[in-house]
Amino acid sequence: MTSSHITGPSRDEVQAHRGASAIAPENTLAAFRAAAEQGAKWVELDVALLGDDTLVVIHDDSVDRTTSGTGNLGALTRAEVDRLDAGSWFGSQFAGEKLPTLDEVIAELGQLGLSANVEIKQHPHHKSLDQLVEAVQHAIGKRAAGTNIMISSFDPDCLRAMHALEPDLEMAMLWGRPPEDWEAQLAAIPAKTIHMHFKALSIGLLEETTKKGTKVRAWTCNDPVQLVSFWDAGLTGVITDNPKLFLG
Protein backbone atom coordinates (compact mmCIF):
# COMPACT_ATOMS: atom_id res chain seq x y z
CA MET A 1 0.00 0.00 0.00
CA THR A 2 1.37 3.42 -0.91
CA SER A 3 1.42 6.06 1.80
CA SER A 4 -0.98 8.93 1.20
CA HIS A 5 0.69 12.28 0.75
CA ILE A 6 -1.36 15.43 0.29
CA THR A 7 0.51 17.84 -1.95
CA GLY A 8 -0.11 21.56 -2.03
CA PRO A 9 1.37 24.93 -1.18
CA SER A 10 1.82 26.15 2.36
CA ARG A 11 -0.65 28.85 3.46
CA ASP A 12 2.12 31.44 3.11
CA GLU A 13 2.68 30.53 -0.52
CA VAL A 14 -0.73 31.25 -2.00
CA GLN A 15 -0.77 34.73 -3.54
CA ALA A 16 -4.06 36.35 -4.53
CA HIS A 17 -3.56 37.62 -8.09
CA ARG A 18 -4.54 41.33 -8.29
CA GLY A 19 -6.27 40.53 -4.98
CA ALA A 20 -8.97 37.86 -4.99
CA SER A 21 -9.81 38.97 -8.52
CA ALA A 22 -12.18 36.07 -9.20
CA ILE A 23 -14.65 37.52 -6.71
CA ALA A 24 -13.91 41.27 -6.57
CA PRO A 25 -12.65 43.91 -9.03
CA GLU A 26 -8.92 43.41 -9.58
CA ASN A 27 -6.35 45.64 -7.88
CA THR A 28 -8.91 47.41 -5.68
CA LEU A 29 -9.14 47.54 -1.89
CA ALA A 30 -12.23 45.32 -2.20
CA ALA A 31 -10.12 42.63 -3.92
CA PHE A 32 -7.43 42.81 -1.22
CA ARG A 33 -10.05 42.59 1.54
CA ALA A 34 -11.61 39.59 -0.22
CA ALA A 35 -8.18 37.90 -0.32
CA ALA A 36 -7.81 38.39 3.44
CA GLU A 37 -11.34 37.04 4.01
CA GLN A 38 -10.40 33.93 2.01
CA GLY A 39 -7.44 33.39 4.32
CA ALA A 40 -4.64 34.46 1.97
CA LYS A 41 -1.47 35.89 3.51
CA TRP A 42 -0.14 37.42 0.28
CA VAL A 43 -1.56 39.45 -2.57
CA GLU A 44 -0.03 40.17 -5.96
CA LEU A 45 -0.62 43.64 -7.42
CA ASP A 46 0.56 45.75 -10.36
CA VAL A 47 1.89 49.30 -10.16
CA ALA A 48 2.28 52.12 -12.70
CA LEU A 49 2.75 55.89 -12.70
CA LEU A 50 0.13 58.42 -13.75
CA GLY A 51 1.02 61.49 -15.81
CA ASP A 52 1.39 63.52 -12.59
CA ASP A 53 3.79 60.86 -11.18
CA THR A 54 1.31 59.35 -8.70
CA LEU A 55 2.01 55.63 -8.26
CA VAL A 56 -1.23 53.69 -8.65
CA VAL A 57 -2.25 50.04 -8.52
CA ILE A 58 -3.54 48.95 -11.92
CA HIS A 59 -2.65 46.27 -14.45
CA ASP A 60 -3.17 47.98 -17.82
CA ASP A 61 -1.58 51.17 -19.14
CA SER A 62 -5.03 52.70 -19.53
CA VAL A 63 -8.11 52.93 -17.32
CA ASP A 64 -10.45 51.75 -20.09
CA ARG A 65 -10.99 48.11 -19.09
CA THR A 66 -11.26 48.43 -15.31
CA THR A 67 -12.90 51.79 -14.65
CA SER A 68 -15.76 54.00 -15.76
CA GLY A 69 -13.29 56.28 -17.59
CA THR A 70 -11.01 56.21 -20.58
CA GLY A 71 -7.48 57.28 -21.29
CA ASN A 72 -3.85 56.30 -21.02
CA LEU A 73 -2.34 56.52 -17.54
CA GLY A 74 0.24 59.00 -18.83
CA ALA A 75 -2.54 61.45 -19.71
CA LEU A 76 -4.28 61.28 -16.31
CA THR A 77 -3.77 62.87 -12.90
CA ARG A 78 -4.65 61.55 -9.47
CA ALA A 79 -7.55 64.01 -9.20
CA GLU A 80 -8.93 62.62 -12.47
CA VAL A 81 -8.64 58.94 -11.54
CA ASP A 82 -10.14 59.67 -8.11
CA ARG A 83 -13.39 60.52 -9.91
CA LEU A 84 -13.53 57.12 -11.65
CA ASP A 85 -15.48 54.06 -10.58
CA ALA A 86 -13.20 51.02 -10.58
CA GLY A 87 -15.82 48.57 -9.33
CA SER A 88 -19.02 48.73 -11.39
CA TRP A 89 -17.50 46.97 -14.42
CA PHE A 90 -17.15 43.88 -12.20
CA GLY A 91 -20.51 44.06 -10.45
CA SER A 92 -22.98 46.66 -9.23
CA GLN A 93 -22.23 45.74 -5.59
CA PHE A 94 -18.75 47.21 -6.13
CA ALA A 95 -19.98 50.58 -7.46
CA GLY A 96 -17.89 53.44 -6.12
CA GLU A 97 -14.73 51.36 -5.61
CA LYS A 98 -11.68 53.54 -6.27
CA LEU A 99 -8.55 53.00 -8.32
CA PRO A 100 -6.09 53.05 -5.40
CA THR A 101 -2.61 54.50 -5.05
CA LEU A 102 0.11 52.17 -3.81
CA ASP A 103 0.24 54.28 -0.63
CA GLU A 104 -3.45 53.55 0.02
CA VAL A 105 -3.00 49.84 -0.66
CA ILE A 106 0.06 49.58 1.60
CA ALA A 107 -1.94 51.20 4.42
CA GLU A 108 -4.84 48.79 3.88
CA LEU A 109 -2.55 45.75 3.79
CA GLY A 110 -1.24 46.81 7.21
CA GLN A 111 -4.81 46.80 8.54
CA LEU A 112 -5.50 43.41 6.97
CA GLY A 113 -2.20 41.80 8.01
CA LEU A 114 -1.34 41.02 4.38
CA SER A 115 1.96 40.92 2.54
CA ALA A 116 2.44 41.94 -1.09
CA ASN A 117 4.14 40.83 -4.27
CA VAL A 118 4.52 44.19 -6.05
CA GLU A 119 4.79 43.68 -9.80
CA ILE A 120 6.47 46.65 -11.44
CA LYS A 121 5.13 47.19 -14.97
CA GLN A 122 7.28 49.17 -17.39
CA HIS A 123 4.87 51.15 -19.58
CA PRO A 124 5.87 53.29 -22.60
CA HIS A 125 4.60 56.50 -20.93
CA HIS A 126 6.92 56.17 -17.93
CA LYS A 127 9.53 58.92 -17.93
CA SER A 128 12.37 57.03 -16.26
CA LEU A 129 13.08 53.73 -14.59
CA ASP A 130 14.74 55.47 -11.65
CA GLN A 131 11.63 57.56 -11.00
CA LEU A 132 9.48 54.42 -11.13
CA VAL A 133 11.54 52.34 -8.71
CA GLU A 134 12.06 55.28 -6.34
CA ALA A 135 8.28 55.76 -6.20
CA VAL A 136 7.88 52.06 -5.32
CA GLN A 137 10.59 52.31 -2.67
CA HIS A 138 8.92 55.36 -1.13
CA ALA A 139 5.50 53.67 -0.91
CA ILE A 140 6.70 50.32 0.44
CA GLY A 141 8.86 52.16 2.97
CA LYS A 142 5.62 53.07 4.77
CA ARG A 143 4.50 49.46 5.23
CA ALA A 144 3.40 48.13 8.60
CA ALA A 145 5.71 45.81 10.53
CA GLY A 146 3.62 42.76 9.62
CA THR A 147 3.59 43.46 5.89
CA ASN A 148 6.31 41.67 3.91
CA ILE A 149 7.13 42.85 0.42
CA MET A 150 8.60 41.10 -2.59
CA ILE A 151 9.13 42.56 -6.06
CA SER A 152 8.43 40.92 -9.41
CA SER A 153 8.74 42.10 -12.99
CA PHE A 154 8.93 40.90 -16.60
CA ASP A 155 11.69 43.51 -17.00
CA PRO A 156 15.08 42.52 -15.55
CA ASP A 157 16.12 46.20 -15.53
CA CYS A 158 13.29 46.95 -13.06
CA LEU A 159 14.46 44.18 -10.76
CA ARG A 160 18.10 45.25 -11.04
CA ALA A 161 17.23 48.87 -10.22
CA MET A 162 14.97 47.83 -7.34
CA HIS A 163 17.59 45.43 -5.96
CA ALA A 164 20.11 48.29 -5.91
CA LEU A 165 17.72 50.27 -3.71
CA GLU A 166 16.37 47.41 -1.59
CA PRO A 167 18.95 44.58 -1.55
CA ASP A 168 17.12 42.62 1.17
CA LEU A 169 13.85 42.19 -0.74
CA GLU A 170 13.07 39.01 -2.65
CA MET A 171 13.20 39.67 -6.42
CA ALA A 172 11.24 37.41 -8.76
CA MET A 173 11.82 37.29 -12.50
CA LEU A 174 8.59 36.82 -14.43
CA TRP A 175 8.80 34.55 -17.42
CA GLY A 176 6.15 32.80 -19.49
CA ARG A 177 8.72 30.07 -20.07
CA PRO A 178 12.19 30.43 -18.54
CA PRO A 179 15.01 30.74 -21.10
CA GLU A 180 17.71 28.06 -21.41
CA ASP A 181 20.20 30.30 -19.58
CA TRP A 182 17.75 31.13 -16.74
CA GLU A 183 20.43 30.67 -14.10
CA ALA A 184 22.81 33.22 -15.68
CA GLN A 185 19.97 35.67 -16.24
CA LEU A 186 18.86 35.43 -12.61
CA ALA A 187 22.44 35.85 -11.37
CA ALA A 188 22.81 39.04 -13.42
CA ILE A 189 19.92 40.75 -11.57
CA PRO A 190 20.57 39.19 -9.00
CA ALA A 191 17.37 37.29 -8.21
CA LYS A 192 16.76 33.88 -6.71
CA THR A 193 13.11 33.40 -7.70
CA ILE A 194 11.27 32.64 -10.93
CA HIS A 195 7.57 33.30 -11.41
CA MET A 196 6.51 31.36 -14.49
CA HIS A 197 3.30 30.54 -16.32
CA PHE A 198 1.87 27.35 -14.86
CA LYS A 199 1.52 25.78 -18.30
CA ALA A 200 5.30 25.93 -18.76
CA LEU A 201 6.04 23.96 -15.55
CA SER A 202 7.90 20.68 -15.85
CA ILE A 203 9.20 18.23 -13.29
CA GLY A 204 12.65 18.39 -14.95
CA LEU A 205 12.89 22.16 -14.61
CA LEU A 206 11.69 22.09 -10.99
CA GLU A 207 14.25 19.43 -10.08
CA GLU A 208 16.95 21.64 -11.60
CA THR A 209 15.76 24.85 -9.92
CA THR A 210 15.39 23.07 -6.57
CA LYS A 211 18.95 21.73 -6.84
CA LYS A 212 20.19 25.28 -7.46
CA GLY A 213 18.19 26.76 -4.55
CA THR A 214 15.93 28.76 -6.87
CA LYS A 215 12.29 29.23 -5.86
CA VAL A 216 9.57 28.83 -8.49
CA ARG A 217 6.01 30.10 -8.18
CA ALA A 218 3.38 29.45 -10.84
CA TRP A 219 1.00 32.08 -12.31
CA THR A 220 -1.92 32.41 -12.87
CA CYS A 221 -3.49 29.10 -11.96
CA ASN A 222 -7.13 28.73 -10.92
CA ASP A 223 -7.28 24.94 -10.91
CA PRO A 224 -5.35 23.07 -8.17
CA VAL A 225 -5.46 19.85 -10.22
CA GLN A 226 -3.08 21.44 -12.74
CA LEU A 227 -0.34 21.73 -10.09
CA VAL A 228 -0.76 18.48 -8.16
CA SER A 229 2.29 16.77 -9.66
CA PHE A 230 4.58 19.76 -9.15
CA TRP A 231 4.58 20.35 -5.37
CA ASP A 232 6.71 17.33 -4.56
CA ALA A 233 9.10 18.31 -7.36
CA GLY A 234 9.79 21.61 -5.59
CA LEU A 235 7.18 24.14 -6.72
CA THR A 236 7.21 26.84 -4.06
CA GLY A 237 3.93 28.68 -4.51
CA VAL A 238 1.02 29.75 -6.67
CA ILE A 239 -0.44 33.04 -7.80
CA THR A 240 -4.19 32.62 -8.29
CA ASP A 241 -7.33 34.70 -8.82
CA ASN A 242 -9.10 32.46 -6.33
CA PRO A 243 -6.93 31.71 -3.28
CA LYS A 244 -9.70 29.75 -1.55
CA LEU A 245 -9.19 26.92 -4.04
CA PHE A 246 -5.66 26.36 -2.77
CA LEU A 247 -6.26 27.19 0.89
CA GLY A 248 -8.66 24.31 1.47
State the binding string over 201-240 for ligand G3P (x if CB under 6 A, else -): ------------------xx------------------x-
- Beta strands 55-57 and 42-49: pairing type? antiparallel
Binding of ligand G3P by 152 (CB under 6 A)? yes
Q: Using an 8 Å Cβ cutoff, are 27 and 57 in contact?
A: yes
Is 17 marked active-site? yes
Binding of ligand G3P by 195 (CB under 6 A)? yes
* Total site size for ligand G3P, rule CB under 6 A: 11
SS3 (DSSP) at 195: strand
The DSSP result for 95-161, as a single string, is TT----BHHHHHHHHHHHT-EEEEEEP--TT-S-HHHHHHHHHHHHTT--TT--EEEEES-HHHHHH
* Residue placing its CB nearer to Ca ion in the complex, 18 or 244: 18
Q: Using an 8 Å Cβ cutoff, are 16 and 29 in contact?
A: no
The footprint of ligand G3P on residues 43-82 (CB under 6 A) is: 44, 46, 59
SS3 (DSSP) at 163: helix
Binding of ligand G3P by 241 (CB under 6 A)? no
State the binding string over 92-131 for ligand G3P (x if CB under 6 A, else -): ---------------------------x------------
* Residue placing its CB nearer to ligand G3P in the complex, 21 or 147: 21
Interface residues with Ca ion (CB under 5 A) are 46, 119
Is 59 marked active-site? yes
Q: Please, where are the H alpha helices in the chain?
A: 29-37, 78-82, 102-112, 129-140, 156-165, 182-187, 203-211, 244-247
The residues annotated with a catalytic role in the active site are 17, 59
Q: Which residues bind ligand G3P (CB under 6 A)?
A: 17, 44, 46, 59, 119, 152, 174, 195, 219-220, 239
